Amino acid sequence: MKDEIKFKEYMATLCEVYDRTLSKLLTDLYWKVLEPFTDQQCADAFKEIIYSSRFFPKPADFIEVLQGSKKTRATEAWLEALETLKRIGNYESVKFADAAIHSVVMAMGGWPEFCMMENEDVKWKQKEFERLYEIISGRGGDHPTYLPGTTELHNFRTGFEINKNIVMVGFDKQKNRMIQ
């Protein structure tokens, strides 16, 4: 959030609704938590919290409203990976805007292996993917920069030139950045 005046108005409204008084320290904490998000995202989060929460929200409540629960994010990541599998296949290398997907897929055997799952295994693979995603995405740390596909892996093993033609997933094509 960039608009400090609106932020103070929203916080004052919250305090009125929940009959609370916030210290400068707590107000600064809420400001820090909301800083990475757009003004519109924050406005929507304040409205949702005011309309749905019975208790004064904690910073974690804002994060959950703004980013979704871990389970929701894990399911969204699974759907993005599954859609990419269907659209791109195992031959191409892929790079997801959400780099945690790279670590999850690598833990499941890599992109080609992930793409070769049988239809009857999909529901079990989804459970495994979502469980791993919740753990891995919560840890932070380094993730592989992309997932090599069958063609790149084959060329690497046989000594042929590696053409790094990587399909970008979840990025704005013109600005090469994440779509949110």
CA separation for the pair 25, 127 (Å, rounded): 41
Give residue 72's pLDDT.
87
pLDDT in tens, 150-167: 999 998 888 888 777 899
In the predicted model, is pLDDT for residue 140 greater than 50? yes
Task: Look up residue 120 and give its DSSP letter.
Answer: G
Give residue 176's pLDDT.
43
- Give the orientation angle of helix 100-107 with respect to helix 70-88, to 10 degrees: 70
* Higher per-residue pLDDT: 149 or 70: 149
pLDDT band with cut points at 50, 70 and 90 for residue 85: very high
- Phi, psi of 3, deg, nearest 5: -85, 95
Mean per-residue pLDDT, 36-52: 92
Q: What single letter denotes the amino acid at residue 14?
A: L
Taking residue 96's Cβ as centre, other Cβ atoms within 10 Å add up to: 23
Place of tokens 């003004």: 39
Place of tokens 């929200």: 57
Give residue 178's pLDDT.
41
Mean per-residue pLDDT, 99-120: 96
List b or e across 10-20, with b for residues whose CB sees 16 or more CB atoms inside 10 angstroms.
bbeebeeeeee
CA separation for the pair 115, 66 (Å, rounded): 31
Q: Say which residues have a Cβ less than 8 Å from residue 158's Cβ, sequence separation at least 6.
A: none
Question: Does the global pTM surpass 0.75?
Answer: no
pLDDT in tens, 121-133: 999 999 999 999 9
